Amino acid sequence: MTTLSPTHRKLRIGSHSLNRFSPGTQAVFHVLLALFSLICIIPFVFVIIISFSSEESIRQIGYSFRPLSWSLDAFAYTFRLGDALWRSYFNSFLITLTGTALSVALTVLYAYPLFRRDYQYRGFFNFLSFFTMIFGGGLVPTFVICKSVLGMSDNYAALIVPMLFSPFNVIIMRTFLRTTVPMELIEAATIDGSGEYSTLIRIVLPVMKPGIATVALLVALGYWNEWFLSLLYLNKNMEIMPLQYLLMRMQRNADFLARNSSMIGADASRAAAQLPSQSLKMALVVFIVVPIACAYPFFQRYVIAGLTVGSVKG
């Protein structure tokens, strides 16, 4: 990488005084960020409290930070879901990991040539991707193609393939490339006789880590939170249902009965009485949030670690 810039060097500025904000300013930053972070985390604490609240308490005073009494029932019930719970957990992991790996690969491969100004067809492929961000065929036609033409139904492919590629992520990735990878770097590699794939893998990817980590994070969150594909494509093979759909089904059952109770009559009351409790739903939310929150620092290492050293090291 010596070809990049002969003057490039790591400067050590003695006092750091010019390169840091004063402690006072930093304190203001801390206060602002801490306040907002708190607002972000409190609702989750609230969810945890509800999941440990007793059903009577929820019935009597609703959702509250200070329930009348505590209970482990919801978690006990969750564990009694047994196989269904662990299997859907496993499915969520499998779908998220496979989907994210494939999707990031596809995104990088698509975004990189679009970033190359010397690529002949970049205008065409750029438009090909961008146009689908705005126009789509709609739910039913997409379903028809995926199911009857591509055979996606009751299999993992149906839960992974429809979300594999996102024009939004391509544009984000391209923007990252534009801001972090200098064209000279690639020109230099080309002159050195490096092949296109080898330039991408050996030279561009290492520099791109923050961008890739960010896009991977967005994709992983998308897969982890996804449930609508399960609703559409899973009919008989419920074994491969992800956790988020397990939760959404409970939620949607309650919503449906709320909207249609006057039409269904006594059956609605009967069905509503059998619905899982609110605390159980919150317990499931906890189950959904915790793993991805734990995985988060992994992505973050690449996003924030870069801050200290800068991306192009001398």
Partner 1 sequence: MKKFLSLILAFAMILSVAAIAHADDLPVITIMFHGSNVSDDSAVLEKVNEYIADKVGAKLEVIWGTWGDFDEKAVNALVSSDSDVDMVFTCSWSADEYNSYAKQGYFVKLDDMIAEYGDALKAAIPESLMQAATIEGADGMGIYAINGFKDTATQNTWDINVTLLNELGYTLDDVKNLGFFGWDEIFAKAKEVKGDSFYPFLVEPMVAERMVTNSVIIAGDSGSVNLLSLYLNPEDVSKDGAYGNVLLNKFATPEYKAFAEQMRKYYQAGYIDPALSVAETSNDARTNHQKEASYLIGTQSYAYGYEYSADVLSRGVEVTFLPCTDPYVDTTASQGAMVAINSASEHPVESFKFLALLNSDPYLMTLLNYGVEGIHYTLDENGLVVFDDAARATYSPWTNGMGNVTILPDTAAEGKGFRAAFQAYYAGAKGIPSLGFVFDNSAVSNEMAALANVAAQYALPLDCGAVDPETELPKFLDALNAAGMETYLAAANDQLSAYLAK
Partner 2 sequence: MTTVQQRAIHSRRRRQSRAAIKRSFWLTTMVLPGAVWLLLIRYLPMFGITIAFKNYRAFRPNTFWNNIVRSEFVGLKNFEFLKSPDTLVMVRNTLGYNLLWILLGLVISVAFAIMMSELTSKFMAKTYQTMMFFPYFLSWVVASYFVLAFLDPTSGMIPSMQKAAGQTVTSFYHETRWWPLILTLCNLWKNLGYSSVLYLAAITGIDTTQYEAAAVDGASKWQQIRHVTLPNLRPMIVILLIMNIGKIFNADFGLFYNVPQNSGSLYPVTQVVDTYVYRAYANTHNLGMSAAAGFLQSAVGLICIVAANAVVRKIDPDSSLF
79 to 118, contacts with partner 1 by CB under 8 A? 84
- Residue 135 contact, options partner 2, partner 1, none, Cβ 5-8 Å cut-off depending on partner type: partner 2
> Looking at 98, 180, 251, 311, which residue binds partner 1 (CB under 8 A)?
251
User: What's the rounded Cα separation, in Å, for the pair 68 and 57?
Assistant: 5
Transcribe the chain into DSSP letters: -TTS-TT------SS-GGGS--HHHHHHHHHHHHHHHHHHHHHHHHHHHHHTB-HHHHHHH-S-SS-SSB--HHHHHHHHTTHHHHHHHHHHHHHHHHHHHHHHHHHHHHHHHHH-TT-TTHHHHHHHHHHHHH----HHHHHHIIIIIT--SSSHHHHHGGGS--HHHHHHHHHHHHHHS-HHHHHHHHHTT--HHHIIIIIIHHHTHHHHHHHHHHHHHHHHH--HHHHHH-SS-GGG--HHHHHHHHHHHHHHHHHHHHHHTHHHHHHHHHSPPHHHHHHHHHHHHHHHHHHHHHHHHHHHHHHHH-SS--
C-alpha gyration radius of the chain: 25
From the CB of 202, what's the least distance to partner 1, in Å?
26
Q: Which is nearer to partner 1, 89 or 302 (CB)?
A: 89
Task: Determine the interface stretch with partner 1 among 38-46, 126-134, 167-175, 235-243 (rule: CB under 8 A).
Answer: 235-243
Residue type at position 282: M
Locate 178 and state its tokens.
């534009």
* Residue 192 near partner 1 by CB under 8 A: no
Look-up of token digits 């009351």: 269
Task: Determine the interface stretch with partner 1 among 143-151, 197-205, 207-215, 283-291 (rule: CB under 8 A).
Answer: 143-151
* Residue 251 near partner 2 by CB under 8 A: yes
> Looking at 34, 101, 183, 201, which residue binds partner 2 (CB under 8 A)?
34
- Residue 249 contact, options partner 1, partner 2, none, Cβ 5-8 Å cut-off depending on partner type: partner 1
From the CB of 51, what's the least distance to partner 1, in Å?
17
* Residue 229 near partner 1 by CB under 8 A: no
Locate 262 and state its tokens.
């006057």
> Looking at 2, 24, 40, 82, which residue binds partner 2 (CB under 8 A)?
40
Q: What is the contact mask toward partner 1 in residues 18 to 57, using x (rule: CB under 8 A)?
A: --------------------------------------x-
* Residue 151 near partner 2 by CB under 8 A: no
* Residue 153 near partner 2 by CB under 8 A: no
* Residue 46 near partner 2 by CB under 8 A: yes
* Residue 180 near partner 2 by CB under 8 A: yes
Q: Which is nearer to partner 1, 203 or 282 (CB)?
A: 282
Task: Determine the interface stretch with partner 1 among 89-97, 162-170, 258-266, 284-292 (rule: CB under 8 A).
Answer: 258-266
User: What's the rounded Cα separation, in Å, for the pair 235 and 25?
Assistant: 57
Size of the chain, expressed as the number of residues it contains: 314
* Residue 298 near partner 2 by CB under 8 A: no
* Residue 43 near partner 2 by CB under 8 A: yes
Interface positions with partner 1 (CB under 8 A):
56, 58-60, 84, 139-140, 143-144, 147-148, 150-151, 153, 231-232, 235-236, 238, 248-267, 269-274, 278
